Amino acid sequence: MFELGRRADRYNASVAFSSSLAGFAAVDRALSAAHCPWFGVDLDPIATLRDQWPLDEIMSRLGGLIRHVRGRDAVVGAEGRTKPALIARGDVKWRDLLSALSGAAYHGWITVDPLELQDRRAAATAGLKQLKAYGE
C-alpha cells in the first residue's frame, strides 16, 4: 500500500478501491492504515445491499473518501445472492443513496454500469434517465 500511495503521489493520481471486493469494514481498516490522501473508495451500490454496515455507517466512515460511484442496481435474493436489475428496479434505495452522497459532499461522477444486463444500450439509457429524474 505504501508503494502504491507513493506512486499515486508521484503522478498526482487518485486510487479508488472497489467496495465490492470486501466489506466496508475491511475497506475502512485498509484506508485508515494506509493514511494516504490519494486513496479513496469506488462505491458500488450493490455492495451496500450486501454489507453488514447500514448506509448511514458506510457514509459516516467512508463518505468523505468516495471518489466514484458505479450506477448499477440488483435484486437481492436468497442467501444474499444478487441478480442485476435496471437502475430503480432493484433493491438499491436510490433516493436515500443520493441524499447520503449529497450529505457527504460528494460531487463526483456516477457512471452508469449496465455490463451485466442483457440490452446494455437500453439499460444505460434507462439508468441515465432515472438518475436524472432523481436529480430534479
pLDDT in tens, 7-40: 898 999 999 998 888 899 999 999 999 989 999 9
How far is the C-alpha of 127 from the C-alpha of 134, rounded, in Å? 11
Q: Give the full edge-to-edge strand order of the sheet including 39-43.
A: 15-18, 39-43, 66-71, 110-112
The CATH number covering residue 131 comes to: 3.20.20.150
| Confidence tier at 115 by pLDDT (50, 70, 90) | very high
Structure letter (DSSP) for residue 12: T
Domain housing 44: 2-135
Cα dihedral 86, 90, 88, 49, rounded to 10, equals -120
User: What pLDDT, on the 0 to 100 scale, is given for residue 136?
Assistant: 66
Domain count of the fold of the chain: 1
Each residue of 48-61: pLDDT tens digit? Answer: 999 999 999 999 99
User: What pLDDT, on the 0 to 100 scale, is given for residue 79?
Assistant: 82
Mean of the pLDDT values across residues 52-76? Answer: 96
